[in-house]
Structures are given as structure tokens and as C-alpha cells.
Amino acid sequence: MGISQKFIDTAWQALEASVIRYNERPVGTLAARDSTAHALNYDQCFTRDFAVSAFAFLMKGEVEIVRTFLTKTLKLQSLNKHLDCFKPGQGLMPASFKVEQKDGQEYISADFGENAIARVASVDSGFWWLLILRVYVKATGDMALARKPDFQNCIKLILDLSLTSRFDMYPTMLVADGSYMIDRRMGVYGYPLDIQALFYIALLAAKELLVADDEYVTVVDERLGHLVYHLRYYYWLDFNLLNEIYRYNVEEYGPTAVNKFNIYPGSIPEWLKEWLPEKGGYFVGNLGPGRMDFRFFAQGNLMAIISKLASEEQSQGIMDLITSRWHSLIGRMPIKLCYPAIEGRDWELITGCDLKNTPWSYHNAGNWPFLLWVLVAAAQKTGRVEIGEKALETALTRLHKDQWPEYYDGKYGRLIGKEARKWQTWTIAGVLVAHELIQNPKHLDLISFTEESAMVSCSLPIPL
């Protein structure tokens, strides 16, 4: 690859400059260091953002910051069952934290969503925390940390919060709109793919980290089986399945129903009929009664590949789709967070006229370079290394010149995002992880799962 080492060196310097210290020890990384913009909460360490930084540090052999992050955030976990519904539920991990000073003493203040825009609790923080712990253990061999009683209790509290019985008939997790990385209203309420893929990864991580004979392992195993079946069978879409949906009967009743979610053929959007190639496919963005969200969401699909949630055939199909639709999904800056954008009256109704989420901007089909790490990982997992190399080379010199923006705007990612912070840490970390993976493919073992580790028990045949 024609990547200048000076760009990588600059990125490492920028990542090191973002490090937050607590009592003189590194404990996390700032979300961004843009001195020209209002700080808001970009001066905090977000659990999901730090995950990518943690992967970069561990691949470089820097362990202390990740261990300190894990031990300090463990103590921030909500441990009590509150009668006050305005307080975080038991097991919830903080969305972010900040090191502050009072009376000459440093302390860590956590935000569980009570201060967030729209006051939405973060569903994915606990899942990212579990993945960070799993990658830390894989990188260091320090299983003793994960087996400590307080860490085992933390894992179980996250599982309790995730696996609790609800008014639901699906193995997927029901979540509110705006409660994860896509933290603006985007019509992803229900069962968004991104959360289901992270949920699956978190369950796999918990299975590895729990004591082998713990009763929770059996519960996790059962849920994994049903989850992988449900997602592989019902969320998958390719051209042949689109033809089936196009000819669906509706109002079917009973166990023999083919159209189990009562999807109306008229709900198939016009853009999809021409955009979906005959070779390739993807997991749709959401699925619920009478509703299929046909949008392509990059993070969920790519993480389905590295976790083996997707079958080998499906994994290859996702990479075929990215290759076939390179111009619309990659463009000038990898990669679209989702595709396509919500526009017109739909934008008004679904986003609430959100001026940050105008079409082809921010979460409404903006391009997010932090996803380079998982794109490169997915390319390596599928033996399509050239896709990851091409994407990274497309991005790197421009990111350096543009001072590492948070996201890009436009149908092809040509413009720096209108409200994008520069020196965005997870943009920097995403590039570094992608580069480390290409330089040393063995690093893929840290952040991915094998078919054997993903093997689960299920009473239904899992689609291959």
C-alpha cells in the first residue's frame, strides 16, 4: 500500500494527545480535541468511542490505559435497583465519563444518558465494555482480571439487563430510537440491526469470560442459538428474497405462514429495486410487525461478519454488495453509516426536522471514517483483503489533510461534515486499527470470533 508512515506517526501522536488521566494514570481518551468548536460532551470519554482506541492501544502493546479504563468504569456501573425511574437501571454502564476536580481532588463523573441530547440512555455501552474486556484478555492473557468476583458480577448484571423477560416474542433486543451510536432520531426504534449484532458479540464475549460452569453460560448459549437463527433467516435480503417479498401474500395466519411478519409488498422502496445487485446481499436495518427497514447499515453488517453472526455465504454476499455499490457506499470517504438518506416529507416526520440530520449528513447517510477498522477487519475475515486496503488508501491522505474529521457529508462523502468536530479520536483510532490489521493480520484474532466460538445450541436449524 502507498501509505506514508508519517501519516500513521501523526495519527499515533494525535491518539496519545487525546489521553485522559486520572490520578496521573491514563484512563481513557477524549471524544475530540477541536478547540474551534463548542465542547458540549466531546470533552468526555465515551465507552463506544474508547473501544476503538482500546483496540489500537492493545495492538501496539500498550496495556495500562485499557486495564485502568476497565477497572474504573466497572466501579461506575449502576448497581442498585432504583424505584426512581429517572435513575439508571441496575447493570447499566455509563455512556461516558469525565475526570473533574473539586477541592483539590480528582473524581470521575459518569453520564448514563441523563445529560445526553434527548436524554436517551445508551443501550450499547455495556456491549462495548464486554468486547473491550474480551479483547484485553485475548491480547494480554490476563483472564484473572475477568475472573475477579467484581468483574464476573459486572458481566452478569449486563446480562440480566439484556436478557430480562419482556412483552416480546423475538430473541432480538427491543430498543428505543436514538439509544446507541445512532443517537439521533432516525426511525430505528424496535430491533435495529446494529444493536442486534453488538448484542450477539456481547453474548459471545460473556460466554468466553464467564467461569465455564456458571449457570449463566447455559442461558447465554440458548439465546445465542435463537438470535443467530432469527437474524440469518429473517433479516437477510438478496435479490432472490426481494423477488419473494415482491410476491408475498399478506394476512396469513398460523405456523405455515410464509410472510411471518406480514410485510406488504407495496412497502418495498423504489430505490431498492434498482440498487440491489443480483450478486450480493445484506442484513436489513430493522424488522418488526408489518415493517421492514430496507436501509443498509454498515456497522451492523460488518460486525455480523467479524462475529460470524453472518454465515460464510452471507459474509461474502455483504462484501459483494460493497464492491458492486462502491460508489454509493464508499465514495470519496469510507463508509456510509446507512444508505440511503431519508429525504423530503419522510425526513420531516421521521427525524422531527432535525437540522443536524439533514439528508446525506451526520447519521442520515453521512460517511464515517471510524468504520474503517471494522471494514478492514471484515475484508480480512472474508479473504477480500484488497477491499480493506483500497478503502484505507482512499481515506488516509485526505483524513490527514482535513485534520481527522468526525464525519463527511454528501452522497459520496466529498464534504467535511457541516458540524463535524476535527481531531475526532475514534476517526484517528479507526485508521490506526485498520492500519495495524493490514500490517499484522494476526491482530484480527483479537477483535473477531471463529466459527467454533460462535457455535451455539438451538432447537431450530441455523441457516448456513
Q: How many domains does the chain have?
A: 1
- Spatial distance between the Cα atoms of 281 and 283, rounded to a whole number of angstroms: 7
* Structural domain includes residue 461: no
What was the pLDDT predicted at 81? Answer: 76
Cell of 161: 439487563
- pTM of the model as a whole: 0.96
The H or E element spanning position 327 is helix 326-329
- Average pLDDT, integer, range 427-438: 98
Q: How far apart are the first and last CA of the chain?
A: 34
Cell of 131: 468486547
* Structural domain includes residue 459: no
* Structural domain includes residue 257: yes
pLDDT digit string, tens, across residues 32-64 = 999 888 888 999 999 999 999 999 999 999 999
Count Cβ atoms below 10 Å from residue 336 Cβ, excluding itself: 28
- Where are the extended beta strands (E) located within 270-341? 281-288, 291-297, 338-339
- Spatial distance between the Cα atoms of 200 and 293, rounded to a whole number of angstroms: 20
For 63, phi then psi, to 5°, come to: -100, -35
* Structural domain includes residue 464: no
Residue with cell 493490514: 438
Count Cβ atoms below 10 Å from residue 219 Cβ, excluding itself: 15
Question: Which sign does the torsion angle of CA 464, 322, 361, 124 carry?
Answer: positive
* Structural domain includes residue 462: no
pLDDT digit string, tens, across residues 73-85 = 999 998 877 666 7
What was the pLDDT predicted at 456? Answer: 61
pLDDT digit string, tens, across residues 121-140 = 899 999 999 999 999 999 99
Residues 178 and 185: beta-carbon distance below 8 Å: yes
- Spatial distance between the Cα atoms of 42 and 24, rounded to a whole number of angstroms: 21
**Is 49 exposed, middle or buried, given 0-12, 13-18 or 19+ CB atoms closer than 10 A?**
buried
* Structural domain includes residue 189: yes
Assign residue 40 the CATH number of its domain: 1.50.10.10
Does the pLDDT value for residue 1 go beyond 60?
no
The H or E element spanning position 415 is strand 415-416
- Average pLDDT, integer, range 408-424: 97
- Spatial distance between the Cα atoms of 305 and 444, rounded to a whole number of angstroms: 12
pLDDT digit string, tens, across residues 18-36 = 999 999 999 999 999 998 8
With b meaning 16 or more CB within 10 Å and e meaning fewer, what string describes 344-361? eeebeebbeebeebbbbb
Residues 307 and 367: beta-carbon distance below 8 Å: no
- Average pLDDT, integer, range 367-378: 98
**Residue type for 376, please?**
V
Shortest CA distance to 407 belongs to which of 417, 399, 397?
417
Q: What is the total residue count of the chain? A: 464
Model confidence at 167, pLDDT cuts 50, 70, 90, reads: confident
* Structural domain includes residue 121: yes
The top-scoring range by mean pLDDT among 34-38, 161-165, 286-290 is 286-290
Residues 141 and 217: beta-carbon distance below 8 Å: no
* Structural domain includes residue 61: yes
Helices first, then strands: H and E counts in the chain: 18, 11
Structural domain including 12 reads 5-447
Cα 307 versus chain centre, distance: 12
Mean of all residue pLDDT scores within the chain: 94
DSSP annotation of 169: S
Residues 371 and 334: beta-carbon distance below 8 Å: yes
Does the pLDDT value for residue 459 go beyond 60?
no
**Residue type for 215, please?**
E
Question: Helix, strand, or coil here: 438?
Answer: helix
